[in-house]
Structure 1
């Protein structure tokens, strides 16, 4: 089941990964904020989420001048990761309570977390449930690697990741989750999937989600594309009825990010 993207508020999220400490982050946001705000004015169809490293969240929060991180309707702050426990002896981790003081959103299960830090579907699921229970919007990432893609295993791999990472949700929680399809072979390579390929895969994800949580949740859930997204290709992705925005990596570290947001707003308005 598919509904037009205009019925689901689109999300353009910038994942800065391990870039920009507090000073650089504040400087960059100060640089793009006027144009970003202008691009998002007088519209309610696109939500922009900035996701700096944890150490830079407070600095960006201050520049955005958001007394309450949930108060601004068009631009929000997100974390790149969190642990599922509220507190304890977990050196180096940040808890959902800490994240919630500054952010509305948290990215979970990114392929780099899965590859480099051994995160399993089970762990991502625990984090997802914890985020939802602490009023945080999880952006849960799934994606296949090049070998799996070339072997024609994409649907099988994504179905397994989806069922493992998004198990045990209530129907209401299933509506609130955001899913990001990020083919690992496209991340940071400059080789984005075509809109046709991405749309077909995301349609499969939506169908699989329907089998898990029903048609209403599948129609409501927002599914983003991520992987070498730029201002030159975002309109093609947004033209597909199943694609509800993008999780942007490298381009989110440049002024081009504003153009991605601007083109998204324009695409939806057409």
Structure 2
């Protein structure tokens, strides 16, 4: 049964920045994050790609961008949105995440998904190209990451990953929020997301899709208290409609093509 959304609290507002071409420089991304913090935005999130379709030619590493944001800001949340965990070693990601969270004073959010290979982004580098296998790797990798970030002894001997009798310190002082990517209309990623802290849905048909996502999450969790439902909109999009539908975060998206740093900064400085 589809229910009508209750009157929501103000949705938090974030930026969704591709570190491409004119923004393929961690210093430039950090400068924009500082401007965002001053203008009242709540978060700054960066895309995670190894390559992208033309005319995009230059890319920066999202984790280095996150470190630059952490060092230059004091309030905004930040993180990769989203990292395809199957192409990264989960124990390395856990070490990076713990250090980033410490550097930022506890402001990191981790966005994870299985990734895709529509540009050969996996297969061109010898990473796993099969989507089903990547889904299995994501689930197993999440177990490793969350276990290691918890700071307790981890014993994981899985099909894809091993973490044998290890403990990672320092651990974050609070659990690092994890948002899981899901394409609209795909039930399995929503079920996966329901076990974590939020869902970042790709391909919403419109704000009305938020209601269906919320209902699906509620059915899995028994409620949505403390759970983030994240949507992204174009730079000229109407955030109010998405918030009214029940999105708890609305990210303003830029690019990915023809990024004009002057126009991006002007939109950021105009505030959420």
Look up the match of 2:26: 26
For 1:32, what is the secondary structure of its paired residue?
helix
Which protein is richer in helix relative to its size?
Answer: 1
State the 1:107 CA deviation: 2.4
Whether 2:76 is the aligned partner of 1:36: answer: no
> If the length of structure 2 is used for normalisation, what is the TM-score?
0.59
1:97 alignment counterpart: 95
Q: Residue 116 of structure 2: SS of its match in structure 1?
A: helix
TM-score (norm 1): 0.60
Task: Find the counterpart in structure 1 of residue 220 from structure 2.
Answer: 212
Unaligned runs of 5+ in 1: 88-93, 145-153, 184-192, 266-270
Deviation readout 1:66-107 (Å, 9 max, x if unpaired) = 5xxxx83224243642358654xxxxxx43222332252232
Distance 1:264 1:130 in 2: 38
Shift of residue 182, structure 1, vs aligned partner: 0.6
Alignment partners' CA distance in 1, 2:143 and 2:32: 33
Cα offsets for 1:98-127 (capped at 9, x unmatched): 233225223222653688543443333334
Instruction: Give the 3 Å change call, closer, same or farther, for CA 30–62 of structure 1 in structure 2.
Output: closer
Distance apart, 1:36 and its partner CA: 1.5
2-structure distance, mates of 1:139, 1:49: 12
- Of 187, 192, 198, 1:178 maps to 198
* Correspondence for 1:48: 44
Residue of 181, 185, 201 corresponding to 2:209: 201
Task: Give the number of the structure whose alpha-carbon radius of gyration is greater.
Answer: 2
Q: Does 1:243 align with 2:243?
A: no
* CA displacement at 1:179 relative to structure 2: 0.5
Contact kept? 1:131, 1:138, Cα under 8 Å:
no
**Secondary structure at 1:202 match in 2:** helix
Contact 1:79-1:99 at 8 Å conserved across structures: no
Alpha-carbon contact 1:230-1:260 (below 8 Å) kept: no
* Cα drift, residue 39 of structure 1: 1.0
Q: Is the 8 A contact 1:198 1:225 kept in 2?
A: no
Indicate the SS of the match to 2:230. strand
Secondary structure, aligned partner of 2:139: helix
* 2:64 corresponding residue in structure 1: 58
CA RMSD of aligned residues (A): 3.9
Structure 1 counterpart of 2:157: none
In the TM superposition, what are the counterparts of 1:154-193 in structure 2 within 5 Å?
154=185, 158-163=186-191, 165-166=192-193, 169=195, 174=196, 177-183=197-203
Q: In the alignment, is residue 124 of structure 1 matched against residue 130 of structure 2?
A: no
- Cα deviations by residue, 1:28-87 (Å, 9 ceiling, x for unpaired): 22542453222127xxxx333345667353355246525xxxx83224243642358654
Shift of 1:248: 3.0
The CA deviation string for residues 187-222 of structure 1, in whole angstroms up to 9 with x for no partner, is: xxxxxx6xxx4322221111111111112xx14311
| Partners of 2:14 and 2:44 within 8 A in 1 | yes
Structure 2 gap ranges (5+): 50-59, 102-107, 123-129, 150-174
Answer 1 or 2: which has greater strand percent: 2
